[in-house]
A and B are shown apart, each in its own frame.
Chain A
Amino acid sequence: MSSATATEAESATERLTLVEGVREGLHTEMARDDRVMVLGEDVGKNGGVFRATEGLFEEFGEERVVDTPLAESGIVGSSIGLALSGMKPVAEMQFMGFAYPAFDQLVSHAARLRSRSHGQYTCPMVVRAPYGGGIRAPEHHSESKEAFFVHEPGLKVVVPSTPADAKGLLTAAIRDPDPVVFLEPKLIYRAFREAVPRGSHAVPLGEAAVRREGSDVSVFTWGAMTRPALIAAGNLAEEHGVDCEVVDVRTLSPLDVGTVVASFEKTGRAAVVHEAPKTAGVGAEIATTIQEEALCYQEAPIKRIAGFDAPVPLHALEDYYLPQAVRVQDGILETVGF
């Protein structure tokens, strides 16, 4: 009896990488809802340049997995029209650094169709983009500009950091009534595997996840930086007896203020880790929110451990640009030692 239960539990999950989690999220939702379609550059026959859409073209056909002409504004703009028509488009920007031609469509239209039409028209669609550095990619392939989208009211911005969340958050994004920018940290696309629920699996948007509980300092992060933050937390516990709480923010907009503030009220100290440039990054929003909501709990300045206020360097120097575990660790110690 017990072994039958174990087998059942085993078959309820499969061990996937993050990019496979994305693919599974797309697959499950496409199988469940005929209106869900995928469109973008090289997403069909080629299965996506990172293989995020592998096999979908063969299974769902060229009308639902569409190789478009090379035109980001066209992809997002036509997705808005598709959404208006009742379809549920999931558009892929091949790299975040190439999404800018679509920026006008996203901020002037997708983000505000609902408010402009006083709720008469809505824009339920997802724009996926691999983002972030660390894979030795050519110039313009390593940007981390989530703040552009977080700044735009009407858009939701989501960044998974685990394979299960990649599937679950993408599922929720596809089902969401509003446009969602879904940023996939390509550094950890294939970095590790974990058990991911089979079948329908939704993780609600707007809820941060506490990845490690701790009492001395709160570390707020997301995406690819979650792992260096957790490694730093482990090292600090072992070497310095510092007990870090690591919070994976995972929905950057709307921000889960409740979880962020509750963690800070417990520890009284915080560091924010992101690979985007420091100035006007999402770290600034988190730090200010904490000051507004929990000033009386604050015991030290909030430390931002971030990318430089400079373009991402070519790959030879990107390890200096990105917050490595060593930088994260040192920054946390500074906060704790204040």
Chain B
Amino acid sequence: MSTHDDTDHRHSTGATQPDTEPIRVLDDDGHLLSSAEPPALSEAELLGMYADIKLARHFDQRAISLQRQGRIATYAPMTGQEGSQVATGHALDDEDWLFPTYRDHAAKYVHGAELGSLLTTLRGYREGYSDPAGVNLLPEYIPIATQVPHAMGMAWGQLLQGNDDTAVLCHLGDGATSEGDFHEGLNFAGVFDVPAVFVCNNNQWAISMPRERQTASETIAEKAHAYGIEGVRVDGMDPLAVYAVTRAAIKKAKAPTDDERRPTLIESVQYRYGAHTTADDPSVYRDEAESEAWRDRDPLDRLETYLHRTDVLDDEREATIEAQVEDEVAAAIETAEAAETSPERIVEHVYEETPDRLAEQLDELNALREKYGDDAFAEVLG
């Protein structure tokens, strides 16, 4: 190895200051930018991405309505952000691992989670967290940023075991960048040079906190610089740009060139159109007019326009996809509403072998159910 001077070293780690202007492929109206190259995706792949975004949007509307009807509990909406979720999902290979947050419903679905399972969890049944065998996906993370070191460790494990074809993608929000786990996870990722891609879904709001109050940094991507890894800022409402950037990061994670480090922090700049969750009322803390400018750059509209202009999509195909999406979501709701659970589940899977003491606690509960009936437990507390 030759000795690098400072400039070369900066270049070699890829840790240059990212451009403040996010990378884009499509303009606000969905036209290909003259400066941009569309990602190499087949027609089928493009239509698949479009159908998934369409499904995500429909799912979101249905889930919000199910919550309003009391059929599921608190739900974290994703409208405005589903383009980025779907595009990052399409950038993954099947063997890659996904670490999602509680808002990444579409990302989970694209990587292999069943829609019905997502809704089963939202009905309060832990059974919904089980994914089909071979789907490399963790249950959604709720305590903020805690997944970041886990994703790093999973990626580290791939490296240690020589699994060169497996990378890890970790989702997080803009709020997560303030937590200690964000710093520790990214620092480890840089030090151990692991095949991990961290996608910060910067939707501008952490419940009521605007991005500019979360950090004094101009961008989130620039935080990568301090960890010696690459930071990229992308228009998170441009699915083609998100795909291109994420795919490149995944490829680099698995097979870096001599002067590249494996990890990347992607700041996907987007907007949460709706509430933080169905328990939140954004009108208390933000001006709804703000969202209008973002809605003009809607990811679904932009991809739709692009696909129509390039003759990948026509009205007939669009109608077919729409009908398929509605059927699939309706079937998922049916599956979730048919799911059953039992109080026995409380003690299952706490340990590989249930300790006697815990088994006795279940026996005690079952004796009471026998004696008083299940209705006695359904009474509102207090």
B-contacting residues of A (Cβ < 8 Å)?
A: 41-42, 44-47, 49, 67, 69-74, 97-98, 100-101, 134, 136-141, 187-188, 191, 224, 227-228, 231, 278-279, 308-311, 313-322, 324-327, 330
Q: Which of B235-243, B279-287, B288-296, B315-323 contacts A (4 or more CB under 8 A)?
A: B279-287
- Which chain B residues border A278 with CB–CB below 8 Å? 361
How far does the Cβ of A114 sit from chain B's closest Cβ, in whole Å? 25
- Which chain A residues border B126 with CB–CB below 8 Å? 313-314
- Which chain A residues border B207 with CB–CB below 8 Å? 41-42, 46, 49
The answer to whether B209 touches A140 (Cβ under 8 A) is no
B350 within 8 A of A: yes
Contact count A vs B, C-beta below 8 Å: 141
Per the bound structure, the CA–CA distance linking A231 and B379 in Å amounts to: 12
B192 within 8 A of A: no
B346 within 8 A of A: yes
Instruction: Among B73, B285, B358, point to the contact of A310 (Cβ < 8 A).
Output: B358
Between-chain CB contacts (< 8 Å), 27 pairs: A41-B207, A42-B208, A44-B208, A46-B284, A71-B178, A72-B179, A74-B180, A101-B179, A101-B181, A134-B381, A136-B73, A137-B74, A138-B142, A187-B381, A191-B382, A227-B382, A231-B382, A279-B357, A314-B124, A314-B125, A316-B123, A316-B124, A317-B124, A320-B365, A325-B381, A326-B379, A327-B368
Per the bound structure, the CA–CA distance linking A320 and B374 in Å amounts to: 9
The answer to whether B179 touches A46 (Cβ under 8 A) is no
Q: Give the residues from 308 to 367 in chain B that come closer than 8 angstroms, CB to CB, to chain A.
A: 341, 343, 345-347, 350, 355, 357-358, 361-362, 365
How far does the Cβ of A325 sit from chain B's closest Cβ, in whole Å? 7
The answer to whether B181 touches A69 (Cβ under 8 A) is no
The answer to whether A308 touches B346 (Cβ under 8 A) is yes
Assuming A69-B213, A316-B125, A319-B377, is B208 touching A46 (CB within 8 A)? yes
- Which chain B residues border A231 with CB–CB below 8 Å? 382
- Which chain A residues border B188 with CB–CB below 8 Å? none
Assuming A42-B208, A73-B180, A317-B345, is B143 touching A97 (CB within 8 A)? yes
- Which chain A residues border B138 with CB–CB below 8 Å? none
Residue ID in chain B nearest A325 by CB atoms: B379
Assuming A308-B361, A311-B350, is B381 touching A228 (CB within 8 A)? yes
The answer to whether A321 touches B178 (Cβ under 8 A) is no
Assuming A134-B381, A316-B341, A324-B376, is B357 touching A309 (CB within 8 A)? yes
Assuming A308-B346, A320-B365, A326-B376, is B382 touching A188 (CB within 8 A)? yes
Per the bound structure, the CA–CA distance linking A200 and B354 in Å amounts to: 51
Given A138-B277, A310-B347, 18 additional A-B pairs, CB 8 A: A42-B207, A69-B215, A72-B179, A74-B178, A134-B382, A137-B73, A141-B142, A224-B381, A224-B382, A308-B365, A309-B358, A310-B346, A316-B124, A320-B365, A320-B377, A324-B381, A325-B379, A325-B381
- Which chain B residues border A134 with CB–CB below 8 Å? 381-382
The answer to whether B143 touches A100 (Cβ under 8 A) is yes
- Which chain B residues border A72 with CB–CB below 8 Å? 179
Against A, the Cβ 8 Å flags (1 = close, 0 = not) of B161-185 are 0000000000000011011110000
The answer to whether A309 touches B361 (Cβ under 8 A) is yes
- Which chain A residues border B125 with CB–CB below 8 Å? 314, 316
The answer to whether A139 touches B142 (Cβ under 8 A) is yes
The answer to whether A45 touches B102 (Cβ under 8 A) is no
- Which chain B residues border A141 with CB–CB below 8 Å? 142
Assuming A228-B382, A310-B346, A316-B123, is B178 touching A49 (CB within 8 A)? no
The 4 closest A-B pairs by CB, nearest first: A316-B124, A227-B382, A46-B208, A69-B178
B144 within 8 A of A: yes
B44 within 8 A of A: no
Assuming A47-B284, A49-B279, A316-B341, is B358 touching A70 (CB within 8 A)? no
The answer to whether B371 touches A330 (Cβ under 8 A) is yes
- Which chain A residues border B346 with CB–CB below 8 Å? 308, 310, 313, 317, 320-321
Assuming A70-B144, A313-B345, A317-B341, is B180 touching A101 (CB within 8 A)? yes
- Which chain B residues border A138 with CB–CB below 8 Å? 73-74, 102, 142, 277
Per the bound structure, the CA–CA distance linking A279 and B142 in Å amounts to: 26
- Which chain A residues border B215 with CB–CB below 8 Å? 69
The answer to whether A41 touches B376 (Cβ under 8 A) is no
Against A, the Cβ 8 Å flags (1 = close, 0 = not) of B114-150 are 0000000101111000000000000000111000000
Residue ID in chain A nearest B282 by CB atoms: A46
- Which chain A residues border B362 with CB–CB below 8 Å? 308
- Which chain B residues border A140 with CB–CB below 8 Å? 142-143
Residue ID in chain A nearest B208 by CB atoms: A46
How far does the Cβ of A52 sit from chain B's closest Cβ, in whole Å? 14
How far does the Cβ of B181 sit from chain A's closest Cβ, in whole Å? 7
How far does the Cβ of B212 sit from chain A's closest Cβ, in whole Å? 11
B66 within 8 A of A: no
Residue ID in chain A nearest B213 by CB atoms: A67
How far does the Cβ of B364 sit from chain A's closest Cβ, in whole Å? 9
Residue ID in chain B nearest A104 by CB atoms: B180
The answer to whether B209 touches A70 (Cβ under 8 A) is yes
Per the bound structure, the CA–CA distance linking A41 and B381 in Å amounts to: 29
- Which chain B residues border A228 with CB–CB below 8 Å? 381-382
- Which chain B residues border A324 with CB–CB below 8 Å? 376-377, 379, 381
- Which chain A residues border B74 with CB–CB below 8 Å? 136-138
Residue ID in chain A nearest B207 by CB atoms: A42
The answer to whether A187 touches B382 (Cβ under 8 A) is yes
Per the bound structure, the CA–CA distance linking A321 and B365 in Å amounts to: 9
B214 within 8 A of A: yes
Per the bound structure, the CA–CA distance linking A316 and B339 in Å amounts to: 12
How far does the Cβ of A137 sit from chain B's closest Cβ, in whole Å? 7
